[in-house]
C-alpha cells in the first residue's frame, strides 16, 4: 500500500472509529409522548390553549425560544414553545404528599414546528415525572395517574385532526 492510499484511508478510519466509540444515539426520556399533528404551529398553540381551558387546567407559564431569538438576536427559528400547565386542585394534594415534588409543577407541553409546516406536541407523563418522589407514597402516585389522564385528554383534544 502506498503512502497516498494510506492517507486516503486514515480519515475514513478515524470517522468510523469515532462513530463506533460514540455508541448508539441516546434514547428519548422515559414517558415522553409526542404527536405529530396536521395543524400549523400557530393553530396548535390555539388548540392547546382551548384544550387546557376545557379541562379546567391553568396556563401557568409560557416560554418561546422563537420569540426570544427574534427579540434578542433578530434571528428567525422554527416555532418552539413550552407551555406550563397545572391547577391548584392538583397542587395542594401534591404538596401535601411531597413538598420536594413541587419543583415539577407546572407540567410542560412542548410545541414544535416541523419542516413541513405542521407542528408536534410533546409532554412527559406525570406518573414518570413524579415517580422519583417516594416520600409522596400512594397519594402522589394516585394524583400522578389522575394527571396522566388529564394530560392525555388535553393532548388528544389539541392534536385531533378536526
Q: Assess if residue 59 is contained within a domain.
A: yes
Q: What pLDDT is recorded for position 28?
A: 75
State the CB neighbour count (10 A cutoff) for residue 97.
20
How far, in Å, CA of 78 to CA of 12, rounded? 34
Q: Residue 110, exposed/middle/buried by CB under 10 A (0-12, 13-18, 19+)?
A: middle
Indicate the pairing of strand 107-113 with strand 80-86.
antiparallel
* Domain count across the chain: 1
Preceding amide of 65 cis, omega within 30: no
In a domain, 120, yes or no: yes
* Lookup result for grid cell 448508539: 24
Is residue 13 included in any domain, yes or no?
Answer: no
**Dist. CA 137–CA 71, nearest whole Å:** 44
Residue 5 lies in a domain: no
Instruction: Give me the tens of pLDDT residue by residue for the chain, a chain 162 residues long.
Output: 544 443 444 344 344 334 445 556 567 788 999 999 999 999 999 999 999 999 999 999 999 999 999 999 999 999 999 999 999 999 999 999 999 999 999 999 999 999 999 999 999 999 999 999 999 999 999 999 999 999 999 999 999 997
**Residue 9 domain flag:** no
CA distance 49 to 150: 14
Instruction: Please count the other Cβ atoms lying within 10 Å of the Cβ belonging to residue 138.
Output: 8
Is position 18 within any domain? no
CATH of the domain at 45: 3.30.310.70
What pTM did the predictor assign? Answer: 0.82
- Residue 106: is the preceding peptide bond cis (ω within 30°)? yes
Amino acid at each position: 500500500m502506498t503512502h497516498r492510499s494510506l492517507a486516503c484511508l486514515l480519515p475514513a478510519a478515524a470517522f468510523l472509529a469515532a462513530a463506533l466509540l460514540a455508541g448508539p444515539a441516546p434514547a428519548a426520556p422515559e414517558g415522553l409522548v409526542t404527536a405529530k399533528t396536521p395543524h400549523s404551529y400557530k393553530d396548535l398553540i390555539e388548540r392547546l390553549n382551548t384544550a387546557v381551558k376545557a379541562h379546567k387546567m391553568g396556563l401557568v407559564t409560557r416560554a418561546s425560544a422563537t420569540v426570544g431569538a427574534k427579540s434578542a438576536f433578530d434571528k428567525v427559528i422554527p416555532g418552539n414553545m413550552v407551555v406550563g400547565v397545572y391547577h391548584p386542585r392538583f397542587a395542594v394534594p401534591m404538596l401535601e404528599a411531597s413538598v420536594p415534588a413541587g419543583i415539577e409543577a407546572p407540567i410542560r407541553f412542548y410545541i414544535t414546528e416541523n419542516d413541513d409546516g405542521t407542528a408536534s406536541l410533546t409532554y412527559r407523563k406525570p406518573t414518570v415525572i413524579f415517580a422519583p418522589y417516594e416520600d409522596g407514597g400512594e397519594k402522589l402516585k394516585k394524583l400522578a395517574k389522575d394527571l396522566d389522564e388529564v394530560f392525555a385528554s388535553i393532548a388528544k383534544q389539541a392534536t385531533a385532526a378536526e
